[in-house]
């Protein structure tokens, strides 16, 4: 795998080379959204898992952040004013998983809604007798197909501490976005062909089964036990662990680590 040299970015099924118009548009966006040095330094100092990247990778991440900020629209909710450093904090963490894959996987949505703190959402479900049950769900983030990504600033800000227990709300929600880029939230992101898709499903299903048994048995794992809720949640929490707690994650789940390393074209535990 090539490390960090932007000129070695590979054209592939997920990252088609830009035509001349695309190239021109990209250059304009990069100029429009150039990130000032102090703001970039502040972001690196906030997030050790970003600062840990090599020089070339950090430059590529900064480039992707400019493009991301140009393409996405931030909205503050609950009285929150989204400042430049807040938007960049989101961009840097969101772009980390797609450092080598490009922003094409994030094309399906534009809006990012930021709340100051966690949000209580009213939910309802209907049982087999047609009776509707209502309940409250506390959310720190949410990603829905085609819709805006919702994040809480308190959790985005404190991501360095969250990394101690492999928690990262931005990477979690953007893992869902990647998963849904092929239309479905099922723990299977877009893959180049049917054979890779089948291999992925086989591997993630068996890892999920082992994980659910561990959670049932009360075994403490680096991966958030919330992942036992559903395969798509397992994928999202595994991606969090892969990027913010790669060393223990690789030790506990070497096969899953290898699968994600191959997909994301990154090897964060080696850094």
**Which residues within the stretch 181-200 sit at the binding site for Zn ion (CB under 5 A)?**
none
Nearer to Zn ion, 65 or 149 (CB): 149
Nearer to Zn ion among residue 43 and residue 167 (C-beta): 167
Torsion of CA 182, 184, 186, 191, to 10 degrees: -10
> Tokens 């890779």, residue?
196
- Residues in the interface with Zn ion (CB under 5 A) total 2
| 167's tokens | 């928690």
Kindly tell me which of 92 and 236 has the beta carbon lying closer to Zn ion. Answer: 236
What are the φ/ψ torsions at residue 82 (nearest 5 degrees)?
-80, 110
Contact call for residue 236 and Zn ion (CB under 5 A): yes
Closest contact distance (angstroms) between CB of 150 and Zn ion is 11
Determine the interface stretch with Zn ion among 118-126, 206-214, 217-225, 227-235 (rule: CB under 5 A): 227-235
What is the per-residue DSSP string for 143-190? Answer: E-TTS-EEEEHHHHHTHHHHGGGT--HHHHHHHHHHHHTTS--SS---
From 14-22, 121-129, 207-215, 235-243, span contacting Zn ion (CB under 5 A): 235-243
Please say which residue, 155 or 233, places its beta carbon nearer to Zn ion.
Answer: 233
Q: What are phi and psi of 112, to 5 degrees?
A: -125, 120
- Which chain residues interact with Zn ion by CB under 5 A? 233, 236
């Amino acid at each position: 795998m090539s490390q960090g040299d932007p000129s070695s970015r590979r054209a592939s099924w997920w990252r088609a080379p830009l035509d001349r118009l695309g190239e021109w548009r990209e250059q304009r966006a990069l100029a429009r959204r150039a990130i000032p040095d102090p703001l970039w330094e502040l972001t690196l100092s906030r997030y050790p898992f970003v600062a840990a990247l090599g020089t070339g990778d950090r430059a590529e991440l900064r480039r992707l952040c400019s493009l991301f900020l140009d393409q996405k629209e931030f909205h503050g909710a609950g009285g929150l004013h989204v400042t430049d450093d807040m938007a960049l904090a989101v961009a840097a963490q969101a772009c980390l998983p797609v450092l080598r894959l490009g922003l094409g996987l994030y094309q399906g949505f534009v809006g990012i809604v930021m709340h100051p703190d966690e949000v209580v959402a009213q939910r309802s479900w209907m049982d087999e007798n047609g009776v509707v049950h209502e309940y409250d769900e506390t959310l720190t983030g949410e990603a829905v197909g085609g819709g805006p990504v919702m994040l809480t600033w308190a959790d985005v800000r404190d991501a360095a501490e969250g990394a101690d227990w492999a928690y990262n709300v931005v990477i979690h929600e953007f893992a869902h976005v990647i998963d849904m880029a092929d239309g479905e939230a099922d723990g299977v992101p877009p893959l180049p062909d049917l054979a890779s898709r089948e291999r992925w499903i086989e591997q993630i299903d068996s890892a999920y089964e082992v994980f659910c048994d561990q959670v049932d048995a009360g075994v403490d794992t680096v991966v958030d036990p919330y992942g036992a809720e559903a395969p798509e949640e397992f994928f999202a929490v595994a991606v969090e662990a892969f990027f913010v707690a790669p060393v223990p994650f690789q030790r506990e789940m070497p096969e899953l680590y290898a699968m994600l390393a191959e997909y994301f074209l990154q090897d964060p535990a080696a850094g």
